[in-house]
Amino acid sequence: GAVVSQHPSWVICKSGTSVKIECRSLDFQATTMFWYRQFPKQSLMLMATSNEGSKATYEQGVEKDKFLINHASLTLSTLTVTSAHPEDSSFYICSARRDFNQPQHFGDGTRLSIL
Amino acid sequence: GIQVEQSPPDLILQEGANSTLRCNFSDSVNNLQWFHQNPWGQLINLFYIPSGTKQNGRLSATTVATERYSLLYISSSQTTDSGVYFCAVVPSGGSNYKLTFGKGTLLTVNP
């Protein structure tokens, strides 16, 4: 159990395009979902925490208008990278948890390349 | 915020060898998880272990919460064990229960 699906797994697009990444908990209801960014050979960096039905909480230094997060239901959160530029190229990973004292389960990640 | 230190940063093994990875954290924690990130980037849950000892096949983990460290043991390593191993913790007393990751241990298992 505790499967998290992330889609798409790979995106290549032109500068200025907006890209939407979906994160779904397939077999459980996730009260909270998280979005991370990972640069090559580095650890995961939390971008934002998303609770169902409320606004996302962004970490310091993360642009809210650049990275739009929507947590429309207990099984779906989306991250939209708006007007993406080459510096937004990275590996984005989502995670989900049932409740505050439960482990986080991660999606397989999305490799975003902006040309 | 809480500091999470993993050691060693890099480890190279021959297939069949055993290894121990360490995770030290600077404050008390509610949760601790070990992950394996494979070469394709997939982050695989190994253990959810805020305290105590757990085993899963060739892998086992021990967390001594009072001394603020956790150990991940890999026995009879295989080439498929290669990748980065991350320790991540949720500090006690926080209101948001966010995971803080260590920098990871890069494990290479040679045939």
pLDDT tens-digit series, residues B31-74 = 999 999 998 999 999 999 999 999 999 999 999 999 999 999 99
- φ, ψ of residue B2 to 5 degrees: the values are -65, 145
Mutate to test the interface with A, among B32, B85, B97 (most CBs of A within 10 A): B97
* Tens digit of each residue's pLDDT (9 = 90 or more) over A17-63: 999 999 999 999 998 999 999 999 999 999 999 988 888 999 999 99
Report which of residues A102 and B71 the model is more confident about: B71
Query: Mind giving me the DSSP string for A59-115?
Result: PTT--TTTEEEEEEETTEEEEEETT--GGG-EEEEEEEESSTTS--EE---EEEEE-
Which residues make Cβ contacts (< 8 Å) with residue B6, sequence separation at least 6? Answer: B21, B22, B23, B24, B85, B86, B87, B102, B103, B104, B105
Instruction: Kindly report the average pLDDT of chain B as a whole number.
Output: 95
Binary contact (B33, A104; C-beta < 8 A) = yes
A50-87 pLDDT, tens digit each: 988 888 999 999 999 999 999 888 999 999 999 999 99
pLDDT, position A100: 78
At residue A112 the predicted structure's pLDDT band, cuts being 50, 70 and 90, is: very high
3-state secondary structure of B67: helix
Nearest-Cα distance to chain B for A105, in Å, is 7
Burial class, B3, CB count within 10 angstroms (exposed 0-12 / middle 13-18 / buried 19+): exposed
According to the model, what pLDDT value does residue B94 have? Answer: 64
Query: Quick one: which of A113, A111, A105 has its CA closest to A9?
Result: A111
Q: Chain A contacts of B41, Cβ < 8 Å?
A: 38, 91, 93, 108-109, 111
For the record, the structure tokens of B76 come out as: 């009879």
User: CA of A108, closest CA in chain B: separation in Å?
Assistant: 5
* Residue A1 predicted with pLDDT over 90: no
Look at phi and psi of residue A83 and say left if phi exceeds 0, alpha if psi is from -120 to 50, else beta. left
